[in-house]
Structures are given as C-alpha cells and as structure tokens.
C-alpha cells in the first residue's frame, strides 16, 4: 500500500507527518521474530513522534479517527491493557474492551468464535492477550482482522520487547557493544523471549541469568538453531552483572516456589535480587528496567526500583508511545 | 457377490511369518488360506488380478482407540473398523479408555457384541484395564477380563504410577499369560507438558515432556517384568533411551516387547511449528501434531529406525486416536493429544522404504507377524489353514492425503495434503473383501 494515494491514507499522513511506511508489510504483530531491523527502527522512529504528542497538554490526535480497536484479554492485566487503550484513544480511535471472564468465553465459547464475533463487528484491529502460547497465531490463521499480540502464554510479548529496546535506545543511543541482563524466571517469560528476538539487530549482548531450574532445558539449542548468538546464559548474577549497561529483573511469581522451581524466597533473594549492593558490580551508570508488575523485596529492592538508575516509570510512558506507533502502522493505513 | 472363495492371481507374495517371498496365486476358500502356488486355476471363484501388487498378511494393530462406548462423536466401532480396513488392517486391538472404561467383563462383552454386529469383517481384540476406572489404585478383575476376551492389559494414557500396584498386575498377567501393554510415562515428570522437551518447545513457549519421562517408566517396568516374569509390552516408545533399554532387556532374555507409531518414525517436534501454507503466520502451533508421546527429535527417529532394523522393536502400531474438530481447533495447550493413523500408516511408512531406511520385508514384518507374536496370536500369517486375512498393496502408487476421503470420523492428522507413495489397494478379512480401491481388477 502507499500513503501517497488519496483516501484515508492521505488523511492520516496529514495528521501525522513522519517517515515513509511503504515497506511495512505486517498485517499482524505476533512477535518480533519476523521484524527486520528496518521495521523495528521504523516503529521507534514513529514512537519518537508519539512521545512528543504525549508531552502535549492535549494529547489527542485524529490519526485513527473512525477506526475501532478492540481489546480482548483472556487473562487479567491492568498495565498492558490500559496502555493499549490509551494509545488507541490518543490516536482518536474508538475502543471496545472485552473481558473474557465476563464474556461468553466463560460460557464455553471457543477462542475462534469469540474473535470471529469481533471481526463480524467490523473492528479494525484486535489486541489480544491469552494465557496459552500461540493463541494469537491460531487467531491470525482463522481471521482477516489484524491481530496484535499483547502477550501469549510463555511465548511472546512483542510490544513490551519493543518498548524495552526503545527505552534502552532513548537512554543510550547506539546499543552496539552494550550489555543487558535479564534476570529471573526466563522459563515462563514472554518478555524475555521477545527481548531475545528484538535485541538481535542492535549489536548488543544479552545475558539471561537465572537459577538452572528457571532456564528451559532446550534454551541453548534454541539459541543455536535460531542463530541468536548475541545471547548467553549465566547462572551467577554477580558474574553476569559485571560491566552491565542494563539490568532487567523479571517478576518472581509465588507459584514457582510451590512447584519446587525455587527452594525458597530467601535463597532466591540472596542469589538473584537486584539491590544496591549487587548494582555496585555493574557499570556506574547502569540502568534498571522492569516489565512490571514488580514484586518489591523479591526480585528487586525498593531502593533500586525507585532509585536514580531506574527507568521503570519511563518504560510505562514509552509503552504508550510504542503502542501508538504499532496501532498507527497496523490500523492506520488503507485497506489494513 | 459371494466372495468367501477368492483367487488372488499373480501377486508378489510376502509372508514375514514364514519368510516366503515369491510370485504366485493364493486360493482362499471358506474364509481360510487354502493354497499358495503357481498358476492355480479354479472355477466358480472370484478372481483378483494382483499383478503388480504385493499380497501379505493383513495388518495387525496393537494400539488403537475406537472410542465406543462413550465418545461416539470422535469415532465408533463401525467407523473405526472401516477406517482400519481402508488401511489394510484385519486385526486391531482397541484400548480401554472408553467411557465407561473396559475394566469389567460387561463392558468388554458390550464392545465385542457391537464389533460382531457392526464390524464382522475385522477382528477386534479388546485390551482390558489394569486398574478399576484406570485410576491406578485397585486392580481390575483381570481374570474376568481375560475370560471376556481381553488380549492384554493397559491403563493407556493414565499409566499406573504406583510400582507396587503395577507389580501385582504383572503377577496376575504372568499367570494369565497376557501382556501388560504400558504407555510408559512418569506423570510427575511430564506434568503440564505439551510437546517434546527440546528447542522447539522453548521457541514456542510450550512446556516440554522430557524423554526421561518415558525412559524412567520403561526402566521401571523392565525391572518389574524381571521381578514378576510377566510379558511387558512397552507401547509407542518414542525415544532413543527407550530403544536402548528394551534392547538391553531383550539381550538379558526378558519377556519385553515394544512398538512404535508411524508418526514417531517420520515426524519430528519441528512439525509443531512448521510454517503453514498461509504466509500470514509463521509459526503453525499445529494441534494435529500434538500427540502423546510427543513427536521427538531426528536423533530419536534414527534410534527408532535402528531398533526396527535390529529387531528391538517388534511392531509398528498406529495409536489411531480420533478427536473431534473442536477438540483440535483451539489453543495448542488446550488441544487433546492424538493422531489418526489407520488410513495413512502404510503410505507414510513406505517413505522409509523408498528412502532406503528400512526394507520392505522388515516393514511388513512389523505390521503383521511382529505384532501377532506380541499377542501370541494366530493372525499375521498366510500359512494354509489360517484365517484368510490379507492386504494387497501397491508400493509405487502415488496419492495425496485428503482427510475428506477418510472413513474414520477423525480428521486429526498432520499428514493432510502430504504426497505419499504406497497405497493399500484391497483388504481381505476372513476371506471377504473388507476394502477395495476402485483400481482393483476383479473378474
């Protein structure tokens, strides 16, 4: 498609002058594994413009006026859902949100039936979160409407991956040679997986640090098979944190202790909590990020979470900007 | 057409039970193999021109799910039997995980009554439960089940976790001289798993079922087999380690046998993520590739094929496991496990022959005399006097799998759309044609 054609596309370009998006080919945003460097950079370039809009007193622009964005969450979420809905509203779209617990899903409706209903309601894009890995892929195979994956099981959370890398670039500029570490429950983390794919274009090193029981057994082979050679695995946090530019602990869920994956919280804190003492081993200007929600006192200490090196609130703001960029690219064009 | 007297002309006859391999005719009379020889002429019989075809004993399947009673929306005894005949099978063992399960003589008799009434053209051998309700706690009345016609015992899919209960079951089975057919899986180790524990599971964010979940149970069962003297049949083994354990047990003279499925011999765990024809999505999350035991690595396939070549693996069993569309058209994690197998088994397995990985004779052995020996059954042979169960196959016929052509109610196969070379042209069961392809030449 081309935005130079008359029609809705031209109108959009008038409301939001920006880079050419002609080469953008994605109908869906399912994960970052099929995002090229150029496409990822495009999202960031548009997101920078969105950050400016978010700084305004009146944040609303008419870019997606007349478009309808649906969110359907099959798993509870406050932050991601609010972020997407605000992103849609700031761009002038109408939004509807379906809560699976209260919808017909609770009455036994299948995933595909629920989504087909949304499609029949002529929404322009569906933002979905689902506890099962791959659910958005099944949706995309059976629907024509664009699907944006807002988190599927342990598999992917592409908008989070994008906002994380956007935040890193915002602070550090070129990421070449930089070292980031993701700490904790790698096994169950869709955030870690999307960051693995997203960071591969930027010449940086990514270290995954966790006790062996929270690293999936096939991870090393997966990294090899997928040529993700910028990623390494390290079980000792004090080793991993040396010369780190970015430290990103993941939320530790209480269920992990119940299922025996960690022996107890105290041991985990001793080995893996990001606190001031540990940060002293990193670069002096190390940045701390967290995808949220935080479990303060577990994977991260209060002092670090709210300390001078913390970008956690910045991530939340950037999340809206990045999601605005994604919605613009997915729902903004003609015939999308 | 009265077809209990048949003359199969000019077939290439391969009977792995006797080692016979020659071109000739087979005369079938009164439902039995009457005579095998050259240029047999007989009037008043139905003649089948089998030139270019292989005639071998009808296939014997140690492991299938006919779903009746209880899950007739997935399959019935009638549709399952028709599908089996379509695939060249003349003897099939149905697993007891019906509802109610085959844990008492009344249900077994019910199944056998339906089979006799609705599928008289095929031999259906029920497998009884090891424990009541397949709950793993109290033994079923195994003597009564044997009396009702069960040919072995299994809590398939819900393996007996308690080693003591299993050892008691084996003591009973040893006296009854029937095999314990175990689906070997440590349920703690596999808990919550969706597919093979390997790099694809990590890639897809799915939970893995490690090879060790199977191997620890195979090892335990072998130890209990040694303890009790029972016949142990490890069904649908899937890993290199399991092959090694069974090989070692056989070398030690233990009464251990095993089988493997066509899909575990031909597909790897990469099938789950395989790109679909639809370019809009890269990762398939193909629920038709969800099966238990899961599709494993190519190294496992190599070991399984080696196990077939050296006789460690006795049989190839389909684990034909039909499910409804709805049970597969859903999230991968919520999809039921299972692949239908009857109607693709031969064509799928012939790929291993065409690529030179196993010989045709070995394949036919694993489909006929091999499984018959596991059961100590008289099936799976063409010796005169045997029940006339035959498959006529064309090893060169190319065809494309289309689930719409299946006689099974199930559509859950990862082979839909695959081009296969090798097809069952006719099945003769008890002297009667139970399936014939329209290319079969009859006079």
Whether residues A218 and B282 touch (CB distance < 8 A) is answered with no
Q: Closest partner residue to B202 among A34, A135, A218, by Cβ?
A: A218
Instruction: Give me the CATH number covering residue B156.
Output: 3.20.20.140
Tell whether A312 is covered by a domain: no
Instruction: Give me the CATH number covering residue B432.
Output: 2.30.40.10
Q: Closest partner residue to A110 among B197, B284, B326, by Cβ?
A: B326
Give the mutation candidate from B188, B211, B287, B331 for the A interface (greatest A CB count, under 10 A): B331
Whether residues A221 and B198 touch (CB distance < 8 A) is answered with yes
Do both A99 and A48 map to the same domain?
yes
Q: For all residues of chain B together, what is the average pLDDT?
A: 96
Handedness of CA A169, A173, A176, A177 (dihedral sign): negative
List B423's β-bridge partners, or say none. B394
Q: Closest partner residue to B199 among A28, A190, A222, by Cβ?
A: A222
Do both B407 and B433 map to the same domain?
yes
Reported confidence tier of residue A23, pLDDT bands at 50, 70, 90: confident
d(CA B420, CA A272): 53
Q: Closest partner residue to B329 among A112, A130, A226, by Cβ?
A: A112
Looking at the structure of chain B, the number of domains it has is: 2
What's the mean pLDDT in B22-37? 96
- Closest chain A residue to B332 measured between Cα atoms? A134
Do both A325 and A226 map to the same domain?
no
The pLDDT, as a whole number, for residue A257 is: 80
Looking at the structure of chain A, the number of domains it has is: 2
Judged by CB atoms within 8 Å, which residues 95-114 of A form the interface with B?
110-112
Reported confidence tier of residue A209, pLDDT bands at 50, 70, 90: very high
Do both A14 and A147 map to the same domain?
yes
Tell whether A336 is covered by a domain: no
Q: Closest partner residue to A137 among B281, B329, B334, by Cβ?
A: B281
Do both B239 and B111 map to the same domain?
yes
| Residue B433 phi, psi (nearest 5) | -70, 110
Do both B101 and B38 map to the same domain?
no
Do both B276 and B302 map to the same domain?
yes
Reported confidence tier of residue A8, pLDDT bands at 50, 70, 90: very low
Q: Which residues of A touch B282 (CB under 8 A)?
A: 30, 33-34, 137
Do both B114 and B260 map to the same domain?
yes
Whether residues A217 and B210 touch (CB distance < 8 A) is answered with yes
Task: Confirm or reject contact between B191 and chain A (CB < 8 A).
Answer: no
What's the mean pLDDT in B276-296? 82
Which of B353, B375, B397 is where one domain is finished?
Answer: B375
Which of B316, B344, B375 is where one domain is finished?
Answer: B375
Tell whether B1 is covered by a domain: no
pLDDT in tens, A222-235: 999 999 999 999 99
Whether residues B330 and A155 touch (CB distance < 8 A) is answered with no
Do both A271 and A218 map to the same domain?
yes
pLDDT in tens, B110-127: 999 999 999 999 999 999
Instruction: Give me the CATH number covering residue A216.
Output: 3.40.50.1370
Do both A197 and A260 map to the same domain?
yes
Do both B48 and B67 map to the same domain?
no
Q: Closest partner residue to B333 among A34, A133, A140, by Cβ?
A: A133
Rounded to the nearest angstrom, the minimum Cα separation between B300 and chain A is: 15
Residues of B with catalytic annotation? 319
Which of B324, B352, B375 is where one domain is finished?
Answer: B375
d(CA B285, CA A271): 36
Does residue A11 register a pLDDT over 50?
no
Do both B112 and B191 map to the same domain?
yes
| Residue A185 phi, psi (nearest 5) | -80, 70
Give the mutation candidate from A137, A141, A147 for the B interface (greatest B CB count, under 10 A): A137
Whether residues A132 and B283 touch (CB distance < 8 A) is answered with no
Judged by CB atoms within 8 Å, which residues 107-166 of A form the interface with B?
110-112, 130, 132-135, 137-138, 140-141, 152-156
Judged by CB atoms within 8 Å, which residues 251-310 of A form the interface with B?
none
Do both A140 and A168 map to the same domain?
no
Q: Closest partner residue to B205 among A138, A140, A155, by Cβ?
A: A155
Do both B254 and B398 map to the same domain?
no
Task: Confirm or reject contact between B331 and chain A (CB < 8 A).
Answer: yes
Does residue B332 register a pLDDT over 90?
yes
d(CA A265, CA A256): 10
Whether residues B326 and A219 touch (CB distance < 8 A) is answered with no
Q: Which tokens belong to A1?
A: 């498609």
Q: For all residues of chain A together, what is the average pLDDT?
A: 91
Whether residues B282 and A133 touch (CB distance < 8 A) is answered with no
Task: Confirm or reject contact between B201 and chain A (CB < 8 A).
Answer: yes
pLDDT in tens, B146-168: 999 999 999 999 999 999 999 99
The pLDDT, as a whole number, for residue B281 is: 56
Do both B348 and B423 map to the same domain?
no
Do both B408 and B313 map to the same domain?
no
- Interface A-B, measured as beta-carbon pairs within 8 A, has a size of 91
pLDDT in tens, B354-365: 999 999 999 999
Tell whether B383 is covered by a domain: no
**Are the C-beta atoms of B54 and B11 separated by less than 8 Å?**
yes
Task: Confirm or reject contact between B96 and chain A (CB < 8 A).
Answer: no
Tell whether B158 is covered by a domain: yes
d(CA A303, CA A294): 13
Tell whether A200 is covered by a domain: yes
pLDDT in tens, A155-193: 999 999 999 999 999 999 999 999 999 999 999 999 999
ipTM: 0.92
Rounded to the nearest angstrom, the minimum Cα separation between A303 and chain B is: 33
Q: Which residues of B touch A190 (CB under 8 A)?
A: 205
Do both A170 and A226 map to the same domain?
yes
Whether residues A218 and B285 touch (CB distance < 8 A) is answered with no
Q: Against a cut of 0.90, is the pTM above it?
A: yes
The pLDDT, as a whole number, for residue B254 is: 98
Strands B419-429 and B390-400: antiparallel
Tell whether A26 is covered by a domain: yes
Q: Which residues of B touch A217 (CB under 8 A)?
A: 197, 202, 208, 210
- Closest chain B residue to A137 measured between Cα atoms? B281
Q: Which residues of B touch A27 (CB under 8 A)?
A: 280
Reported confidence tier of residue A101, pLDDT bands at 50, 70, 90: low
Q: Which residues of A touch B294 (CB under 8 A)?
A: none
Do both B224 and B316 map to the same domain?
yes
Tell whether B220 is covered by a domain: yes
Task: Confirm or reject contact between B285 and chain A (CB < 8 A).
Answer: yes
Tell whether B292 is covered by a domain: yes
Do both A83 and A130 map to the same domain?
yes
Whether residues A110 and B281 touch (CB distance < 8 A) is answered with no
Do both A149 and A164 map to the same domain?
no
Q: Closest partner residue to A154 among B197, B205, B281, by Cβ?
A: B205
Task: Confirm or reject contact between B78 and chain A (CB < 8 A).
Answer: no
Range of the domain at A53: 8-153+318-331
Do both A92 and A191 map to the same domain?
no
Do both A13 and A59 map to the same domain?
yes
Judged by CB atoms within 8 Å, which residues 196-235 of A form the interface with B?
216-219, 221-222, 224-226
Whether residues A154 and B330 touch (CB distance < 8 A) is answered with no
pLDDT in tens, B57-114: 999 999 999 999 999 999 999 999 999 999 999 999 999 999 999 999 999 999 999 9
Task: Confirm or reject contact between B208 and chain A (CB < 8 A).
Answer: yes
Do both A55 and A147 map to the same domain?
yes
Range of the domain at B418: 6-54+389-442
Q: Which residues of A touch B276 (CB under 8 A)?
A: 141
Do both B20 and B139 map to the same domain?
no
- Closest chain A residue to B279 measured between Cα atoms? A141
pLDDT in tens, B287-322: 999 999 999 999 999 999 999 999 999 999 999 999
Rounded to the nearest angstrom, the minimum Cα separation between B370 and chain A is: 36
d(CA A137, CA A147): 9
Tell whether A172 is covered by a domain: yes
């Amino acid at each position: 498609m081309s935005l130079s054609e008359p029609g809705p596309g031209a109108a959009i370009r008038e409301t939001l002058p920006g880079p050419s998006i002609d080469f953008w080919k994605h109908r869906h945003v399912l994960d970052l594994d099929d995002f090229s460097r150029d496409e990822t950079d495009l999202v960031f370039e548009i997101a920078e413009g969105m950050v400016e809009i978010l700084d305004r007193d009146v944040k609303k622009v008419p870019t997606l006026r007349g478009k309808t964005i649906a969110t359907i969450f099959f798993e509870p979420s406050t932050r991601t859902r609010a972020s997407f809905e605000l992103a849609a509203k700031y761009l002038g779209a109408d939004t509807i949100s379906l809560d699976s617990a209260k919808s017909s899903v609770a009455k036994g409706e299948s995933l595909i039936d629920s989504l087909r209903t949304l499609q029949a309601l002529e929404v322009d894009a569906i933002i979905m979160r689902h506890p099962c890995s791959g659910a958005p892929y099944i949706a995309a195979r059976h629907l024509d409407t664009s699907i944006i994956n807002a988190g599927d099981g342990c598999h992917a959370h592409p908008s989070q991956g994008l906002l994380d890398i956007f935040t890193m670039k915002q602070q550090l500029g070129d990421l070449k040679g930089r070292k980031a570490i993701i700490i904790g429950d790698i096994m169950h983390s869709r955030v870690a997986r999307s960051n693995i794919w997203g960071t591969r274009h930027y010449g940086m090193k990514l270290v995954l640090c966790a006790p062996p029981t929270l690293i999936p057994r096939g991870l090393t082979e997966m990294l090899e098979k997928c040529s993700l050679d910028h990623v390494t695995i390290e079980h000792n946090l004090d080793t991993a944190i040396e010369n780190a530019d970015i430290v990103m602990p993941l939320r530790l869920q209480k269920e992990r202790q119940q299922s025996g994956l960690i022996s107890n919280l105290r041991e985990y804190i001793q080995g893996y909590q990001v606190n001031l003492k540990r940060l002293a081993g990193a670069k002096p200007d190390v940045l701390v990020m967290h995808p949220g929600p935080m479990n303060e006192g577990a994977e991260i200490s209060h002092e670090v979470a709210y300390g001078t090196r913390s970008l956690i609130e910045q991530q939340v703001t950037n999340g809206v900007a990045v999601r605005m960029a994604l919605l613009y690219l997915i729902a903004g064009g003609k015939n999308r | 057409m009265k077809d209990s007297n048949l003359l199969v002309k000019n077939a290439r006859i391969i009977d792995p039970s006797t080692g016979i391999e020659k071109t000739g005719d087979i005369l079938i009379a009164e439902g039995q193999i009457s005579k095998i020889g050259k240029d047999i002429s007989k009037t008043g019989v139905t003649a089948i021109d089998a030139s270019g075809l292989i005639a071998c004993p009808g296939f014997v399947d140690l492991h299938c799910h006919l779903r009746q009673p209880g899950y007739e929306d997935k399959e019935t005894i009638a549709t399952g039997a028709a599908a089996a005949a379509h695939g060249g099978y003349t003897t099939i063992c149905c697993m007891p995980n019906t509802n109610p399960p085959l844990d008492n003589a009344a249900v077994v008799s019910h199944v056998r009554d339906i089979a006799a009434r609705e599928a008289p053209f095929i031999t259906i051998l029920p497998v009884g439960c090891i424990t009541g309700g397949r709950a793993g706690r109290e033994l079923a009345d195994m003597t009564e089940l044997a009396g009702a016609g069960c040919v072995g015992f299994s809590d398939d899919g819900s393996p007996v976790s308690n080693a003591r209960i299993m050892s008691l079951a084996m003591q009973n089975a040893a006296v009854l001289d029937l095999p314990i057919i175990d689906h070997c899986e440590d349920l703690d180790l596999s808990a919550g798993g969706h597919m093979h524990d390997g790099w694809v599971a990590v890639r897809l964010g799915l939970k893995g079922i490690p090879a060790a979940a199977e191997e620890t149970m195979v090892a335990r069962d072998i130890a209990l087999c040694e303890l009790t003297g029972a016949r142990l049949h490890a069904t649908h083994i899937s890993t290199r380690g399991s092959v090694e354990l069974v090989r070692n047990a056989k070398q030690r003279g233990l009464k251990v046998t095993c089988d493997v499925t066509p899909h575990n011999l031909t597909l790897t765990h990469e099938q789950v993520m395989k790109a679909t024809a639809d370019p809009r999505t890269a990762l398939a999350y193909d629920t038709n590739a969800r099966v238990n035991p899961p599709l494993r690595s190519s190294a496992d396939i190599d070991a399984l094929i080696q196990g077939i070549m050296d006789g460690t693996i006795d049989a190839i069993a389909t684990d034909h496991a039909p499910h409804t569309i709805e049970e597969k058209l859903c999230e991968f994690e919520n999809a039921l496990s299972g692949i239908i197998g009857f109607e693709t088994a031969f064509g799928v397995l012939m790929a291993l022959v065409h690529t030179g990985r196993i010989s045709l004779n070995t394949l036919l052995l694993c489909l006929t005399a091999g499984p018959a020996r596991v059961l100590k059954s008289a099936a799976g042979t063409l010796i005169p006097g045997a029940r006339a169960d035959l498959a006529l196959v064309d090893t060169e016929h190319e065809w494309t799998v289309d689930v719409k052509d299946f006689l099974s109610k199930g559509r859950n196969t990862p082979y839909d759309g695959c081009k296969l070379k090798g097809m069952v042209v006719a099945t003769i069961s008890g002297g009667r044609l139970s399936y014939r392809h329209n290319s079969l030449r009859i006079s």
